[in-house]
A and B are shown apart, each in its own frame.
Chain A
Amino acid sequence: MKILVLLKQTFDTEAKITIEGGKISRSGVSMIINPYDEFAVEEALKIKESLGGEVTVVSTGDDGVQDALRQALAMGADKAVLINPGTDDVDEFTAATVLAKAVSGMEYDLILAGWRAVDDGSAQVAGRVAEILGIPIAKLASKIDVEAGKATATCEIEGGTEVIELPLPAIITAQKGLNEPRYPSMKGIMQAKKKPMEKKGLGDIGLDAGAVAAKVKVLSVALPAARAAGKVFDGEPADTSAAVVKALREEAKVI
C-alpha cells in the first residue's frame, strides 16, 4: 500500500498572531505540522503498520517547511517531497496545482490530508487535488478502514455521520478524533535525518510560474476585534433573571 500524505506547515496554534505591513508576521512564531495533517500522518502510519507499504509526505513551500516534513519522518514516514513554488504569493489554486502535479508523477493507492489547515481554514486544497487527479474524495473522516482496492470512511456531516465507500486510489481528509498522533520517538528522530528528502522546483515537475500564479488576491488582513467586556446584572435574582432574559432576546437576539 503506497500512501501519500499532503501536509502543510502552519503557525503553532498557541502562537500570538500579529500583523506587520498588511501581512501576518512570521517572525518569532514557531511552526508546526497543521494539526489535521498530523492526524493524516498518524493514520497513514497506522495503515502502513497493519497492511505494510510506504508513507510519503508531500508539501509545498520554502525550505523552512523541511522542519515539518522532518517531523513527519521522525514519526515514521519513509520519504518526504517538498516542492518550492518560488513565490510567497500562493493561494489554494497554486497549492493544489503544484501538489496534484507532483503527486501525478508518483505511485499511490491512497492520499490522506487534513480536512483543512488551521491557518487560512479554506478546506479547499484536498478537494481541488482530487478534482485535478480525477479520483474520489471523502472528507472529514473520523474513521478509515482500508482493504484491497477500496476504503471505507466514516465522515462527519451536519448532525450525524455518513459511511462512504471509495474505490482506490482515493483521497480521504482527516477530522479531529480520527486518532491520537504519536510523538516522534528518539529512534525515529535519529533516523529522520537519514531518510530521503526530495526538494524540487516548479521546473522539475513540469510547471512554471505562470501555470501556478494565484487566482485570488488578498486585499487586507485584520485581527478579530478584542472581545468586549461582559455585562453584569446587579440586584435581586428575580429582577436580574428577567433583565438577563430581556437582554438575551432584545440586545443579543439569541433567544
Chain B
Amino acid sequence: MDFSLPEEFVMLKKMVRKFTENEIMPLEMTVIEREAARGFEATPSMPPEEEKKILAKAKDLGLWGIDVPEEHGGQGLGMLAKMLVEEEMNRSICWIFLPPDSPNLDFLANACRPEQYEEYLFPYSRGEKTSALALTEANAGSDAAGIQLRADRKGDKWVLNGTKLWISFGPKADFFIVIAVTDKVKKQRGGFTAFLVDKGTPGFTILRNIPCIGDMLVYELLLEDVVLDDSKVLGEVGQAFVPLQNRLGVRRIEIGAKCCGAATRCMELMLTQARVRETFGSPIGNRQFIQGMIADSTTEIHACRLMVYHAASKYDSGEKDLRIEGAMTKVYGTEMLQRISDKAIQMHGALGLSKEMVLEYIFRMCRIWRIVEGPSEIHRWLIARQIIRSEKPYETIFGML
C-alpha cells in the first residue's frame, strides 16, 4: 500500500498551486465585489476577459483535459491527476472550469455515434464548445423519474415540449444535453432519451436566470415545439439513464476534491489567525477552543483527501462502479467544508463575516454544493441501500479487503 504520489504528480500539484496563487487569487476581491453588486442580474462574478486570459494560460500549461483520454485529444493522465488540479485550483474562490468538463465529456464519449463526433464530441473535448446538462425540472430532481418534458415522434422527427429548471451555464452553453420522456410508461427503464439541442434552435429559449445564493448561476429553459431529427438523438432511444448515472459518479468525486482545496484555504487562514491574533495577552492558538477547531479540521481534511485520492486511483485502475465512493466523498467533502468554513469564520469574528476575506464566500459556496449534484440525503440513502442490499461480507463491499 503506497500512499505517495508519483513525482510528476507532485510537480503538477506544485505548478497548479503557483499558477493559482499568481494568476487567479489576485482576482478574488474583484470576484467578491462583482458577486455582491450583481443583485438579481446574472452578471458573471469573474470578469469574462480575465477568465479568458486564465483559460488561455491554463491551456498553454496543458491543464485542459487532464483526465480526457488521449484519443479524445486530452492529456490522458487520469482521474487522480485531475483531482489534484481541482484541489489546488479550489484553494481560490474563483471558479474556473477547465474545459472540457469531464462529466459531460464522459456522457458524450459513451453515447455519441461516430457521425456526431465532428459536431459535438471533438469540439467539446478540444474545449471549443461548451455544453450543459438539462435534466432537472420543477418536479424532478434527484428523483428523475418524474421528468415531464416530452419528445413525441411525428413522422421521422422528434418534437420536444416542456421546461427545464436550475440548469447551469445557460447562455454560455453552445449545446444542451436535454433529457426527455419518449415513453411515459417505461420512464427511466427505457423511456428517457437524451437529445442534443443547439443554442438558437427554433422553439428553444433561455427564459430567465433564477437569482440564488452565492455564485450559483442557474436558468430556466423553455422548449416549445422544438423539432429535431434522429441525428440529434444522443445514444440509444430510451436509454439516457445508464450514461447519466456514470456521468454523475465522476462529478461527485470531483466535488470532494474541490472541497479539500477550499477547506485547505480555510485551514491556512485559521492557522495564521491562531498564531497572530492575541486576546488577553496571548495568541488565541493557546486556547483550547481554538485548538479543538484546528485539530478537528485538520483531521477531517486529511480524511477527505484520502477518500478522494482513493476513489480516483480506483477509477484509474479501471474500476467504473464508484457509486458508494462517489456518494461518500460527496457527502463527507461538502459537509466537512461547511463545518470547517463555519469554524474559520468563528475564529475570525466580524472579519470572517466581512467581504474583506474569502471565508463568507466559501461558506455560501459550500451550502450550494450540499444540494447540487444530489443532496446529502440522497447520497446517504444510496450508500445505505447499497450496503444493506449487498450480500457480500461488509469489508468487501467497496474493496478494502
Interface residues, chain A, with chain B CB atoms under 8 Å away:
70-71, 74, 183-187, 189-190, 192-193
Contacts and interface: CB of A to CB of B under 8 A. Distances in A.
Nearest to A74: B11
Contacts of B60: 185
A71 B15 CA distance: 10
B61 A183 contact: yes
Pick the most buried of A183, A184, A190: most chain B CB atoms within 10 A of its CB. A183
A71 B77 CA distance: 19
Contact of A70 (B11, B15, B61, B77): B11
A225 B63 CA distance: 44
B56 to A, nearest CB: 13
A193 B77 CA distance: 15
Given A70-B7, A192-B8, A192-B11, A186 B75 contact: yes
Contacts of B8: 189-190, 192-193
Contacts of A186: 12, 15, 61-63, 66, 75, 77
Interface string B1-33: 000000110011001001100000000000000
Contacts of B19: 183
Interface of B is mostly: helix
A74 B18 CA distance: 14
Given A183-B61, A185-B61, A192-B11, 14 more contacts: A70-B11, A74-B11, A183-B18, A183-B19, A184-B15, A185-B62, A186-B12, A186-B15, A186-B62, A186-B75, A187-B62, A189-B15, A192-B8, A193-B7
B62 to A, nearest CB: 3
Contacts of A184: 11, 15
Pick the most buried of A71, A183, A186, A193: most chain B CB atoms within 10 A of its CB. A186
A117 to B, nearest CB: 20
A68 to B, nearest CB: 11
A134 to B, nearest CB: 38
15 contacts: A70-B11, A74-B15, A183-B18, A183-B19, A184-B11, A185-B60, A186-B12, A186-B15, A186-B75, A189-B11, A189-B15, A190-B8, A192-B8, A192-B11, A193-B8
B-side interface size class: 10 to 19
Interface of B: 7-8, 11-12, 15, 18-19, 60-63, 66, 75, 77
Pick the most buried of A71, A74, A184, A193: most chain B CB atoms within 10 A of its CB. A184
Pick the most buried of A187, A189, A193: most chain B CB atoms within 10 A of its CB. A189
A176 B12 CA distance: 25
A185 to B, nearest CB: 5
A139 to B, nearest CB: 27
A71 B18 CA distance: 13
A97 to B, nearest CB: 31
Nearest to B19: A183
Nearest to A188: B62
Pick the most buried of B8, B63, B66, B75: most chain A CB atoms within 10 A of its CB. B8
B11 A183 contact: no
Contacts of B11: 70-71, 74, 184, 189, 192
A43 B190 CA distance: 61
A159 to B, nearest CB: 31
A189 B11 CA distance: 7
Nearest to A187: B62
Nearest to A66: B7
A45 to B, nearest CB: 14
A187 B64 CA distance: 12
B235 to A, nearest CB: 31
Nearest to B23: A183
A192 B6 CA distance: 13
A246 to B, nearest CB: 32
Contacts of A183: 15, 18-19, 61
A193 B63 CA distance: 19
Contacts of A193: 7-8
A185 B18 CA distance: 12
